[in-house]
Amino acid sequence: MAVTNEIRRLRFEAGEMTQAELAQRIGVTRQTVNAIEQGKYSPSLEAAFRIAHVFAKPLEAVFHFHSEEGQHEKGQSR
Amino acid sequence: MAFREKTAWISLLATLGIYGFYFSALASARGNSAEFFALLIETMITFVVVFVALTIVVAILSPKDADAPADEREKLIGLKAERVAYYAVSTGAVAGMLAAFCGLSGFWIANVLFLTLVVAGLAKDAMCIVLYRAGV
């Protein structure tokens, strides 16, 4: 998958925040949070920022982009 | 399972069962066009009643999910599924035109068009379920 994320870990670190609670805070269904965690759905930019905002983290600390060559893109300029 | 995935399953199974009965009767070609028109109306009413009743049951069992508006993923799934249905409708429209040009009766042209709508509905429901399960 091209985009992976740290949402499961971040939920754990946020006191085992439930998928339902995160879903309610970002305005999607619990099933969509589950799909994002499992890599079955890449959220819109707005939803991604909302998720990062909930955990008070920068976007690149929550989501990682992997290019087709297998390189990990950290999101910062080089 | 998401509420909209459940309604897609209800629609898919009701379509297969109820409209499948109509088309199997049509394939056996027992009855005249007036009788088939009556059967068509009956099956359409039955489909609507069954679909609405089962959707209400599912909504009662999970009212929170049923009340929630579609989110961005669900809207995307709906759009992708409708695109598949559009291809089915386009193909069926051409089939209906060909049936008319070939001189088939209004009865058969109407049934080709009805089959088109049913197949498009099935394609949409099936695509919805696949996208909910496999990912968008």
Give pLDDT tens digits for B91-121: 999 999 999 999 999 999 999 999 999 999 9
CA distance A33 to A62: 13
Give the total number of structural domains in chain B: 1
Contact A35 B135 (CB under 8 A): yes
pLDDT value of residue B7:
96
pLDDT value of residue A72:
60
pLDDT value of residue B94:
97
Task: Indicate whether A78 pLDDT > 50.
Answer: no
What is the value of ipTM here, to two decimals?
A: 0.80
Neighbours of B81 (CB within 10 A): 21
H or E, element range at A64? strand A63-66
Give pLDDT tens digits for A24-74: 999 999 999 999 999 999 999 999 999 999 999 999 999 999 887 665 655
Contact A32 B135 (CB under 8 A): no
What does DSSP assign to residue A3? E
Give pLDDT tens digits for B1-59: 889 999 999 999 999 999 999 999 998 876 678 888 899 999 999 999 999 999 999 99
CA distance A47 to A30: 13
What does DSSP assign to residue B16? I
- Interface contact A31, partner B, CB < 8 A: yes
pLDDT value of residue A77:
38
Contact B73 A41 (CB under 8 A): yes
- Interface contact A27, partner B, CB < 8 A: yes
Locate B84 and state its tokens: 């598949």
Neighbours of B120 (CB within 10 A): 20
Question: Residues of A with CB below 8 A from B5's CB?
Answer: 31
pLDDT value of residue B113:
95
Note down the domain range covering B65. Answer: 3-134
